[in-house]
Amino acid sequence: MGTGLGVGGGLVALILSLIFGGNIFSGGSDQSQTTTQTSNGQLAPADSAREEPMVQFVSFVLDNVQQTWTKILPTTMGARYHDAHMVLFRDLTESGCGMAQATAGPFYCPTDEKVYVDLGFYDELRRKLGAPGDFAQAYVIAHELGHHVQHILGTDQRVRQLQERSPNAANAASVRLELQADCYAGVWAHETNEQRILEQGDIEEGLNAAAAVGDDRLQRMTTGRVNAETFTHGTSEQRMRWFKRGLANGNPRDCDTFNASSL
């Protein structure tokens, strides 16, 4: 798992790429929690202007997800939510968990409580992975902020301690951590659904897309073989199941992957 918690090279973003046909989000947002950088520091003025629409979009989503958790975390889990920050970068940048590189995909660093997203990843998500939907991009942020919720609750620390004590169980613990973040993303999607933006048919299409991004499916595509012992994020079926579980009632208590008898 390492110190940074991610979505598995970004491929999990495809889970919701078919839910929306258009942009469900509009308008700007306070960008004080979002930083845009390149490997050489802040973007040049011309680059900043070109990136501005994307920065506004992810800033809006960041605020929207965090407003959801600010509202529901105290009443459901008895914990007070505090905001994470986001760093948008290209190529590489420094993080509290070491160098953040484009090849690593989006990830959450618990050391500095920041979500790191390479803007080039969103380009590839749209062009190479065939997922141009805005909600695919929003899901990445919701998943990573799910890791921030885990950090607030101390879940990630307990998982790291378990992995240190039992290295043979490290991958299995990582799977449960990632599936819980999927479920937390579903909790946010439930809140979005309460706004009557989603339709049942859209959700089913998105869940069907999730079958393409599980560890088993990705391993089969890249190596032709499946090795369950190396799974770190869960199978296609598991990822769909836990996202749907969070979506069903919008209650994070339903996302206890660690005490579930079956994933």
CA nearest neighbour of 120 among 185, 38, 181, 179: 38
Q: How far apart are CA 72 and CA 58, in angstroms?
A: 21
Q: Cα-atom radius of gyration of the chain, to the nearest Å?
A: 17
pTM of the model: 0.79
Q: Which residue has the higher pLDDT, 49 or 250?
A: 250
17-55 confidence digits (pLDDT tens): 222 222 223 333 344 466 655 444 444 454 566 777 778
**Predicted local confidence at residue 139, as pLDDT:** 76
Q: Which residue has the tokens 């990632």?
A: 178
Q: What are phi and psi of 259, to 5 degrees?
A: -105, 5
Q: Which residues pair with 27 in a beta bridge?
A: none
CA nearest neighbour of 39 among 27, 30, 47: 47
**Predicted local confidence at residue 178, as pLDDT:** 92
> How many Cβ atoms are within 10 Å of 64's Cβ, its own excluded?
17
The answer, yes or no, to whether residue 10 has pLDDT greater than 50, is no
**Predicted local confidence at residue 161, as pLDDT:** 95
84-106 confidence digits (pLDDT tens): 998 888 777 878 888 777 666 77
CA nearest neighbour of 147 among 126, 171, 122, 116: 116
